[in-house]
Amino acid sequence: MEGDKKGIIRPLKNTEFRVKSNSFEGTIIIPDISGFTSFVNSMDFSLGKEITIELLQVIIDQNILNLTISEIEGDAILFYKKSTLTLQQVKKQYEQMLSAFSDKVNTLSLQYGFEIKLSLKLVAHYGEISTYTIGGFEKLYGKPVIEAHQLLKNPIKSNSYFLITEDFFNATSQTVNKTHYSGSKLCEVYGSLKNIGYIFFDYEADRDNPSINGYLR
């Protein structure tokens, strides 16, 4: 925004802003590169950028659920879909991305002659969201978007897992045996603590038989 001599605020020139007022219930999927901060801090700038581009492209190429990309966020990609998904669909999507990502990491490690210590995690959430367009880019808006990003900042020790929230399960009318899960999670959302139930499937130790952990209310 910019002001004129009369103090009137006017839109910046060449900037188009358009709001889509209609909200919708949708699924949020965020695959995120584990170990990225250490990677950037220890890597040559140009080489690190090239490796990052190749790895993000691998994630995009494995989009078997036809998810819409809202934003590429450095070490993560914000996807969404205007419908519910099943646990098995998300599981298959994550496993597809993880396999291709790991293969690419191994290929690049051999190509450049050093070990690239990166892996992939994924968060799946559900709720009321909307989109808006600014400067030709469509952006995703809504409280569930904030919650999904906050859930990436969790105490899980694994670098290879996918996490499904209880809101996701409720939306798909899927049930799970809550006796299998223990622990708790407080997620800070908009400056306050919100209890968000989730489970996560840990692939770090055994990718063929991931362990299941988490907390459901």
Q: Is residue 212 part of a domain?
A: no
Phi, psi of 205 (to 5 degrees): -80, -40
Separate counts of helices (H) and strands (E) for the chain: 5, 13
Q: Is residue 199 part of a domain?
A: no
Quick one: average pLDDT of 72-84? Answer: 93
Res 186: pLDDT: 40
Res 95: pLDDT: 95
Whether the per-residue pLDDT at 78 is higher than 90: the answer is: yes
Res 21: pLDDT: 55
CA distance 212 to 33: 20
Q: What is the mean pLDDT of the chain?
A: 81
Res 196: pLDDT: 81
Res 208: pLDDT: 62
Quick one: average pLDDT of 22-31? Answer: 93
Q: Is residue 198 part of a domain?
A: no
Confidence band, pLDDT 50/70/90 cuts, at residue 212 = low
Q: Is residue 48 part of a domain?
A: yes
Whichever domain contains 58, its CATH number is 3.30.70.1230
Q: Which of 64-68, 139-143, 186-190 has the lowest mean pLDDT?
A: 186-190
Domain of 67, in residue numbers: 15-177
Q: Is residue 215 part of a domain?
A: no
Q: Is residue 196 part of a domain?
A: no
What's the angle, vertex CA 186, arms to CA 185 and CA 192, rounded to 5? 170
Q: Is residue 201 part of a domain?
A: no
Name the domain count of the chain: 1
Query: Which of residues 25 and 192 earns the better pLDDT score?
Result: 25
Asked whether the beta carbons of 119 and 32 are under 8 A apart, the reply is no
Res 80: pLDDT: 95
Q: Is residue 193 part of a domain?
A: no
Quick one: average pLDDT of 136-152? Answer: 88
Q: For 79-100, how does the pLDDT look when each residue is reduced to its tens digit (9 = 90+)?
A: 999 999 998 999 999 999 999 9
